[in-house]
């Protein structure tokens, strides 16, 4: 290097530093989850999904209302009347290293999502072939009708990755991923923070408004709030619900909340003797005072649940939750041959205060009808693997939908055999399975809606879960943060967020 | 009995015993005296500050905190006593044998204590409870595995010292059996410092049990164990500080009681003259 260029470089770097210092705006968000991996086909935990959605794009994505899909990397699309052909026109987008996003990248990414290594393979395998007329157009073909196919392309698992780089780097690609989303990963310190900088090539011109975003991993909810008040972060996700009112009253802090596509419930292992009996399961549902739970545990921030399905597309507004009726619960238990109740063990995630509190309330409520609940607090991962292996009686849990079509989540919580065998309850209903197969081949419309409503009614009556509530998701932010919100799909976008100090 | 009399004669010991007795009396009488059920939910009465009807206030479920803290004493003291005096009995035996026989027996037993000693206390307890799963019984196992070594070392040292004293030499001349010498002549003298150590160990153990419950590895809810009471109160600390304060004070109270008893014991057991 000659002396002159060295000097020029030095000067340039000094100048850019000065510019940086004057303008660089950083948005700091405290979140409760530590991402597991940034490989979209390998994960299903919220921390990973939310982070991926800031770095990668999908062809289409749910809009802010959660009711429709809006353009992502695809500018426009057409779905043929028989549902067997989906054509996309790609926009002029670039990955964060400046290479263009092409139809080859799309094909590669969807095939990867459908591969054996993918946890989400079944979502994409119905797409059997691709035509690429030019780098900006791709046509996907299905051998059989599969209505959720289009919607599944809006899932994080269908994130569009740069083919050449993933092939060259393999698994190492996801340690320093390159995507076409609004942000680029600068540094990931596991258990502590994810540092992002804005993607200079992002296709939404002028966005993101902030230069940098830091996701700080703070698992204790109260600690997130304290950090917000101390000015160490600008946004705190999931503050303790009991502190919301107090936070709202604080100067300089605003709060927001949505009820996302989420349902909380107790999984009942139907292989365990008393819980194999439908009357027992219904009795447990009648024994729970849901309005007391919402008042006492959620501090009013939620709605009672009628089934394990979130209230989303094709939901039946007339389906009523099980009323609180301990006398009926006792009568049903007696009919089922358990007049004196029974004992059961319930697994609870020790890391979430709301879950702990709900468990203690459920224990007291079920004791009223003679059911003795033993609480077993477990770490999140252990609870997950124990229920998956079927080694449990009851487990306090929940499900969230990552898409706006109910196919994903009903397949998860109600269908057996499927990915999770009715979310590990091993409950089975042939009529429901039949409807699930039909729904997937029926075009969107009232007919498909009726199928969903019948499935949810069957799920409600069969009660493989104790249905609890749809809790609100809250966040608190400094009042100079504008444009932040949590989406119905539980994730958040940062490209529209501005800091107005 | 003589020991207790001497203990009560020292001021520190008397105060310590009185504090413990007060806590135990409260725990024993709470089901009779308290008008409140420590387990029943009443969301309407949630998070009330201390008042005449709820001296320590109520928690987020509307449960009376005084009732829960006193009931919790039974859990914490039971666990602490089992986790201290169980390992103490075993460790004392090991220390006696090692100190008296010396040689290879001593070397083998002491290397074993070195192995356990090499691990930090909490690391080992967390590892054991982590492998066996959280429950009160597994808590006992973990503390047994870890806690006996302190006593073994103390009693071994004392035994080596005592075994050389003239009155033990005299037992050789009198041809007393080994067991008789160990249990009747060495043990009562060697155990004194172990007993004093046990008092401070109770304090540490109460804290450790509370800490393990804090991590979800100890006793399971709704048991009003003090560590659980504190972990349940974290999110309410600013709105309802009494939820955290009173269980915390209970731990401090027991800590002071046993520390004072330890001090009293060491005075009471000191050889006269």
Domains, chain A: 24-35+181-258+473-499 (3.40.190.10), 57-163 (3.90.76.10), 262-471 (3.10.105.10)
pLDDT at res. A56? 97
**Structural element, H or E, at residue A444:** none
Residue B208 lies in a domain: yes
- List residues bridging with A215 in a β-sheet: A29, A194
- Inspect the interface and report whether the beta carbons of B222 and A375 lie closer than 8 Å: yes
Interface test with B, best of A296, A358, A359 (most B CBs within 10 A): A296
Going by C-alpha positions, the residue among A153, A69, A57 that lies closest to residue A101 is A57
- Inspect the interface and report whether the beta carbons of B221 and A350 lie closer than 8 Å: no
Residue B48 lies in a domain: no
pLDDT at res. B271? 60
Sign of the C-alpha dihedral computed for residues A40, A45, A51 and A57 taken in this order: positive
Average pLDDT over residues A465-486: 95
- Inspect the interface and report whether the beta carbons of A378 and B60 lie closer than 8 Å: no
Query: Which residue in B39, B60, B134 is closest to A357 by CB distance?
Result: B60
Residue B39 lies in a domain: no
- Inspect the interface and report whether the beta carbons of B239 and A242 lie closer than 8 Å: yes
Q: Please give, rounded to a whole number of angstroms, the shortest distance from the CA of A244 to a CA of chain B.
A: 11
Do the beta carbons of residue A63 and residue A501 sit within 8 Å?
Answer: no
Range of the domain at B151: 2-31+57-268
A251 torsion bin: left (phi>0), alpha (psi -120 to 50), beta (else): beta
pLDDT at res. A4? 45
| Region of poorest pLDDT, from A75-84, A405-414, B83-92, B120-129 | B120-129
What total number of domains does chain B contain?
1
**Structural element, H or E, at residue A406:** none
- List residues bridging with A31 in a β-sheet: A217
Going by C-alpha positions, the residue among A81, A140, A127, A146 that lies closest to residue A437 is A146
- Inspect the interface and report whether the beta carbons of B221 and A356 lie closer than 8 Å: yes
Residue B36 lies in a domain: no
The pair of structure tokens assigned to A484 is 């932040």
- Inspect the interface and report whether the beta carbons of A376 and B60 lie closer than 8 Å: no
Do the beta carbons of residue A28 and residue A451 sit within 8 Å?
Answer: no
Query: Which residue in B40, B41, B239 is closest to A246 by CB distance?
Result: B239
Contacts of A377 in chain B (CB under 8 A): 134, 216, 220-221
Residue A21 has pLDDT above 50, yes or no: no
* Count of beta carbons in the 10 Å neighbourhood of residue A434: 12
Q: What is the pLDDT of residues B172-201, one digit of tens each?
A: 788 888 888 888 888 888 888 898 889 888
Q: What is the dihedral of CA A47, A52, A57, A62, to 10 degrees?
A: -10
Nearest chain B alpha carbon to A296: B43
pLDDT at res. A308? 96
Contacts of A357 in chain B (CB under 8 A): 60-61, 232
d(CA A428, CA A211): 51
Q: Please give, rounded to a whole number of angstroms, the shortest distance from the CA of B207 to a CA of chain A.
A: 20
Phi, then psi, of A81 in degrees rounded to 5: -60, -35
Residue A361 has pLDDT above 70, yes or no: yes
Residues whose CB is less than 8 angstroms from the CB of residue B25 and which lie 6 or more positions away in sequence, other chains included: none
Query: Which residue in B60, B222, B237 is closest to A222 by CB distance?
Result: B237
Q: What is the pLDDT of residues B220-250, one digit of tens each?
A: 878 898 988 988 888 888 889 999 999 999 9
Query: Which residue in B46, B235, B239 is closest to A221 by CB distance?
Result: B235
Task: Give DSSP secondary structure letters for chain B.
Answer: -HHHHHHHHSHHHHHHHHHHHHHHHHHHHHHHH-SS-SS---GGGTTPPS-SSSTT-B-TT--BHHHHHHHHHHHHHHHHHHHHHHHHHHHHHHHHHHHHH-HHHHHHHHHHHHHHHTS-HHHHHHHHHHHH-SSHHHHHHHHHHHHHHHHHHHHHHHHHHHHTSHHHHHHHHTT--HHHIIIIIIHHHHHHHHHHHHHHHHHHHHHHHHHHHHTT-SSPTTS--HHHHHHHHGGGTTT-THHHHHHHHHHHHHHHHHHHHHHHHHHHTSPP-
Q: Which 3 state secondary structure label does DSSP give A400? A: strand
Residue B91, CA distances (Å) to A344, B104, B179 in order:
38, 18, 17
Contacts of B134 in chain A (CB under 8 A): 376-378
**CB pairs A-B closer than 8 Å:** 62
Residue A5 has pLDDT above 80, yes or no: no
Residues of B with CB under 8 A from a CB of A: 39-41, 43, 46, 60-62, 134, 215-216, 220-222, 232, 234-239
Confidence band for A23, pLDDT divided at 50, 70 and 90: low
pLDDT at res. A20? 45
Nearest chain B alpha carbon to A220: B235
d(CA B239, CA A240): 12
Sign of the C-alpha dihedral computed for residues A43, A46, A51 and A53 taken in this order: positive
Q: Please give, rounded to a whole number of angstroms, the shortest distance from the CA of B195 to a CA of chain A.
A: 35
Residue B51 lies in a domain: no
Query: Which residue in B43, B234, B235 is closest to A295 by CB distance?
Result: B43
- List residues bridging with A395 in a β-sheet: A267, A347
Q: Please give, rounded to a whole number of angstroms, the shortest distance from the CA of A490 to a CA of chain B.
A: 22
Q: What is the pLDDT of residues A308-330, one digit of tens each?
A: 999 999 999 899 999 999 999 99
- Inspect the interface and report whether the beta carbons of B60 and A242 lie closer than 8 Å: yes
Task: Give DSSP secondary structure letters for A6-68.
Answer: HHHHHHHHHHHHHHHHHH--EEEEEES-----S-TTT--SHHHHHHHHHH---SEEE-TTSSS
- Can you state the angle between helices B103-117 and B65-101, rounded to 10 degrees? 150
The pair of structure tokens assigned to B110 is 């002491």
Burial-class residue A342 by CB neighbours within 10 Å (0-12, 13-18, 19+).
middle
- Inspect the interface and report whether the beta carbons of A220 and B234 lie closer than 8 Å: yes
Residue B47 lies in a domain: no
| Residues of chain B predicted below pLDDT 50 | 273
- Residue where the block lists tokens 């996801």: A174
Over pLDDT 90: what percentage of chain A? Answer: 79
- Cα angle A354-A358-A363, degrees, rounded to a multiple of 5: 155
d(CA B88, CA B18): 24
Query: Which residue in B46, B61, B237 is closest to A360 by CB distance?
Result: B61
Residue A63 has pLDDT above 70, yes or no: yes
Average pLDDT over residues A242-254: 91
Q: Please give, rounded to a whole number of angstroms, the shortest distance from the CA of A356 to a CA of chain B.
A: 8
**Structural element, H or E, at residue A83:** none
Do the beta carbons of residue A31 and residue A22 sit within 8 Å?
Answer: no
Average pLDDT over residues A429-455: 94
Task: Give DSSP secondary structure letters for A232-250.
Answer: S-SEEES--GGGHHHHHHS
- Inspect the interface and report whether the beta carbons of B41 and A376 lie closer than 8 Å: no
The pair of structure tokens assigned to B6 is 């001497």
Q: Please give, rounded to a whole number of angstroms, the shortest distance from the CA of B40 to a CA of chain A.
A: 6
Residue A84 has pLDDT above 90, yes or no: yes
- Inspect the interface and report whether the beta carbons of A364 and B41 lie closer than 8 Å: yes
Average pLDDT over residues A224-245: 93
The pair of structure tokens assigned to A118 is 């993918």
* Count of beta carbons in the 10 Å neighbourhood of residue B124: 17
More confident residue, A35 or B221: A35
Residues whose CB is less than 8 angstroms from the CB of residue B205 and which lie 6 or more positions away in sequence, other chains included: B79, B80, B83, B84, B143, B147
pTM of the model: 0.81
* Count of beta carbons in the 10 Å neighbourhood of residue A72: 24
d(CA B8, CA B4): 6
Residue A15 has pLDDT above 90, yes or no: no
Residue A2 has pLDDT above 50, yes or no: no
- Inspect the interface and report whether the beta carbons of A296 and B61 lie closer than 8 Å: yes
Query: Which residue in B62, B216, B235 is closest to A240 by CB distance?
Result: B235
Contacts of B237 in chain A (CB under 8 A): 222
Residues of A with CB under 8 A from a CB of B: 220-222, 240, 242-243, 246, 292, 295-296, 350-351, 353, 356-357, 359-361, 363-365, 374-379
- Inspect the interface and report whether the beta carbons of A375 and B232 lie closer than 8 Å: no
Q: Which 3 state secondary structure label does DSSP give A131? A: strand
- Inspect the interface and report whether the beta carbons of B221 and A374 lie closer than 8 Å: no
Do the beta carbons of residue B209 and residue B142 sit within 8 Å?
Answer: no
Tell me what the pLDDT averaged over chain B comes to: 87
Do the beta carbons of residue A220 and residue B234 sit within 8 Å?
Answer: yes
Do the beta carbons of residue A130 and residue A140 sit within 8 Å?
Answer: yes
**CATH classification of the domain holding B206:** 1.10.3720.10
Average pLDDT over residues A154-182: 95
pLDDT at res. A117? 92
Going by C-alpha positions, the residue among A440, A363, A378, A340 that lies closest to residue A83 is A440
Residue B247 lies in a domain: yes
Q: Which 3 state secondary structure label does DSSP give A376? A: strand
Query: Which residue in B39, B40, B235 is closest to A242 by CB distance?
Result: B235
Residue A31 has pLDDT above 50, yes or no: yes
**DSSP H helical ranges for A114-215:** 121-124, 148-152, 163-169
Q: Please give, rounded to a whole number of angstroms, the shortest distance from the CA of B23 to a CA of chain A.
A: 26
* Count of beta carbons in the 10 Å neighbourhood of residue A148: 19
Do the beta carbons of residue A124 and residue A182 sit within 8 Å?
Answer: no
Q: Please give, rounded to a whole number of angstroms, the shortest distance from the CA of B165 to a CA of chain A.
A: 54
Q: Which 3 state secondary structure label does DSSP give A499? A: strand
- Inspect the interface and report whether the beta carbons of B239 and A243 lie closer than 8 Å: yes
Residue B41 lies in a domain: no
Do the beta carbons of residue A53 and residue A239 sit within 8 Å?
Answer: no
Q: Please give, rounded to a whole number of angstroms, the shortest distance from the CA of B216 to a CA of chain A.
A: 6
Burial-class residue B51 by CB neighbours within 10 Å (0-12, 13-18, 19+).
exposed
Q: Please give, rounded to a whole number of angstroms, the shortest distance from the CA of A461 to a CA of chain B.
A: 29
d(CA A206, CA A484): 17
d(CA A434, CA A439): 9
Tell me what the pLDDT averaged over chain A comes to: 91
């Amino acid at each position: 290097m000659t002396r002159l260029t060295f000097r020029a470089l030095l000067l340039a770097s000094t100048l850019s530093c000065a510019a940086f210092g004057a303008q660089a705006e950083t948005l700091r968000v405290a979140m409760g989850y530590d991402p597991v991996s940034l490989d979209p086909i390998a994960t299903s935990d919220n921390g990973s999904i939310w982070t991926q959605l800031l770095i990668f794009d999908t062809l289409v994505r749910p809009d802010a209302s959660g009711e429709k899909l809006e353009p992502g990397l695809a500018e426009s699309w057409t779905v043929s009347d028989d549902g067997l052909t989906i054509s996309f026109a790609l926009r002029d987008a670039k990955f964060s290293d400046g290479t263009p996003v092409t139809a080859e990248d799309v094909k590669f990414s969807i095939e990867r999502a459908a591969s054996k290594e993918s946890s989400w393979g079944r979502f994409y395998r119905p797409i059997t072939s691709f035509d690429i007329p030019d780098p900006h157009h791709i046509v996907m073909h299905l051998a059989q009708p599969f209505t959720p196919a289009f919607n599944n392309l809006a899932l994080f698992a269908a994130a569009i990755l740069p083919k050449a780089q993933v092939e060259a780097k393999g698994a190492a690609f996801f340690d320093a991923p390159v995507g076409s989303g609004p942000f680029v990963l600068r540094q990931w310190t596991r258990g502590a923070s994810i540092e992002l900088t804005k993607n200079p090539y992002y296709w939404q011109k002028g966005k993101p408004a902030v230069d940098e975003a830091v996701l700080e991993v703070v698992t204790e909810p109260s600690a997130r709030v304290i950090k917000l008040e101390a000015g160490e972060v600008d946004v705190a996700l999931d503050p303790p619900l009991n502190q919301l009112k107090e936070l709202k009253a604080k100067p300089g802090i605003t709060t927001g909340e949505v009820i996302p596509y989420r349902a909380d419930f107790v999984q009942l292992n139907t292989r365990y003797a008393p819980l194999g009996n439908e009357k027992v399961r219904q009795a447990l549902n009648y024994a729970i005072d849901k309005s007391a739970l919402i008042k006492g545990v959620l501090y009013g921030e939620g709605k009672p649940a009628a089934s394990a399905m979130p209230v989303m597309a094709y939901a039946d507004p007339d389906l009523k939750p099980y009323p609180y009726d301990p006398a009926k619960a006792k009568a049903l238990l007696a009919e089922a041959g358990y007049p004196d109740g029974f004992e059961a063990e319930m697994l609870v995630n020790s890391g979430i205060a709301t879950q702990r509190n709900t468990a203690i309330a459920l224990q007291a409520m079920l004791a009223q009808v003679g059911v003795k609940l033993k609480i077993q607090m477990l770490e999140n991962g252990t609870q997950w693997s124990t229920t998956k292996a079927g080694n449990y009686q009851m487990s306090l849990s929940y499900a969230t939908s990552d898409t706006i079509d109910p196919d994903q989540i009903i397949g998860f919580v109600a269908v057996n055999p499927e990915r999770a065998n009715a979310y590990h309850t091993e409950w089975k209903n042939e009529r429901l399975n039949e409807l699930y197969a039909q729904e997937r081949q029926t075009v969107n419309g009232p007919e498909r809606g009726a199928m969903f409503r019948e499935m949810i009614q069957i799920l409600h009556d069969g009660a493989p879960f104790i249905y609890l509530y749809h809790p609100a998701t809250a966040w608190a932010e400094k009042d100079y943060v504008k444009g932040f919100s949590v989406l119905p799909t539980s994730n958040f976008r940062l490209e529209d967020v501005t800091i107005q100090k | 009995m003589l020991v207790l009399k001497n203990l009560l004669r020292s001021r520190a010991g008397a105060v310590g015993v009185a504090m413990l007795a007060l806590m135990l009396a409260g725990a024993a009488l709470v089901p009779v005296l308290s008008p409140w059920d420590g387990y029943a939910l009443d969301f309407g009465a949630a998070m009330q500050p201390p008042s005449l009807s709820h001296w320590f206030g109520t928690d987020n479920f509307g449960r009376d905190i005084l009732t829960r803290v006193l009931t919790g004493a039974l859990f914490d003291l039971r666990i602490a006593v089992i986790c201290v005096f169980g390992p103490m009995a075993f460790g004392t035996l090991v220390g006696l044998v090692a100190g008296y026989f010396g040689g290879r027996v001593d070397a083998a037993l002491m290397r074993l204590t070195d192995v356990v000693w090499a691990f930090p206390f909490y690391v080992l307890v967390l590892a054991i409870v982590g492998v066996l799963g959280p429950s009160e019984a597994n808590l006992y196992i973990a503390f047994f595995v870890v806690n006996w070594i302190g006593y073994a070392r103390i009693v071994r040292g004392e035994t080596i010292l005592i075994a050389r004293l003239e009155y033990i030499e005299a037992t050789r001349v009198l041809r007393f059996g080994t067991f008789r010498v160990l249990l009747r002549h060495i043990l009562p003298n060697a155990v004194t410092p172990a007993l004093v150590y046990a008092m401070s160990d109770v304090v540490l153990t109460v804290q450790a049990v509370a800490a393990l419950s804090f991590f979800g590895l100890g006793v399971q809810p709704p048991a009003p164990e003090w560590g659980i009471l504190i972990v349940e109160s974290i999110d309410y600390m600013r709105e309802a500080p009494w939820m955290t304060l009173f269980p915390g004070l209970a731990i401090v109270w027991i800590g002071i009681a046993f520390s004072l008893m330890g001090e009293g014991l060491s005075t009471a057991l000191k050889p006269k003259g």
